[in-house]
Amino acid sequence: MKHTPQSTELLYSNNQTFEDGRLLPVMEHFYTLQGEGMHSGKAAYFIRVGGCDVGCHWCDVKESWNAHLHPLVEIEPLLEQAIQNPSGVVVITGGEPSLYPMEFTTEFLHKKGVAAHLETSGAYPLTGNWDWICLSPKKTITPLPEIYSKAHELKVIVYNRNDLVWAQKQAEAVRAAGNNCPLILQPEWSKREEVMPLITEFTMQHPEWRVGIQTHKYLHLP
Ligand code: SF4
């Protein structure tokens, strides 16, 4: 799939718009427990940036898609606020964070001794220095090849049976890049009752995978 950002303003190459990452279109930010992936259940501060043109039809944060609904804000004071908790972790999620220059954010966090985690589809070039990268690839805009070697976990959302075949291809790409990271299958929330038996059976047949669920939704957390 061709990479076609919805607006040239969202291109990473247009660094001036974002003052080299000092300004970002923040949609929301909150302290909570991580709900998905290998860090599920651990406390972390989340910063969600707006803007995404990946277009997953089942996306549960569609209000994040239009970056222009989320005005650019100075990220430094927000990061100062984000580190005022004992978790020692800030997660940058979206939207699609790889649309923006992230070096300023990760440098800031590292100077303060805080871990920088990223949730991305890998659709655009990775910037910043991340302690943990959750790669959640999407069929609509597949990841750029270079992220397969950098991901710390591969998390594939399963909406239907075909997604399991696609998940295997994504796992092959990760392994071909020499990356032995954990592989996670996560049921899409609205289809969880339907696909969970498929995922369970698949995982028992392919034990290199593990099942992940959106624990924050069961716990009624953001
Ligand atoms: Fe939604 Fe994430 Fe897909 Fe973008 S990549 S449409 S934010 S699920």
Q: Whose CA is nearest to atom 1 of ligand 1?
A: 59
Question: Distance from the CA of 51 to the center of ligand 1, in angstroms?
Answer: 9
pLDDT the model gives residue 195: 97
0.85 cut: is pTM over it?
A: yes
Q: Which of 130, 156, 162, 161 is nearest to 142 (CA)?
A: 156
Residue 174 pLDDT > 70 = yes
Burial level of 113, CB count in 10 A (0-12/13-18/19+)?
exposed
Residue 9 pLDDT > 80 = no
Cβ atoms 222, 48 nearer than 8 A? no
Helix axes 103-111, 75-82, angle to 10 degrees: 40
pLDDT single digits (tens) 90-127:
999 999 999 999 999 999 999 999 999 999 999 999 99
pLDDT the model gives residue 10: 52
* Residue 13 confidence class, pLDDT cut points 50, 70, 90: very low
Question: Distance from the CA of 60 to the center of ligand 1, in angstroms?
Answer: 8
pLDDT single digits (tens) 24-63:
999 999 999 999 999 999 999 999 999 999 999 999 999 9
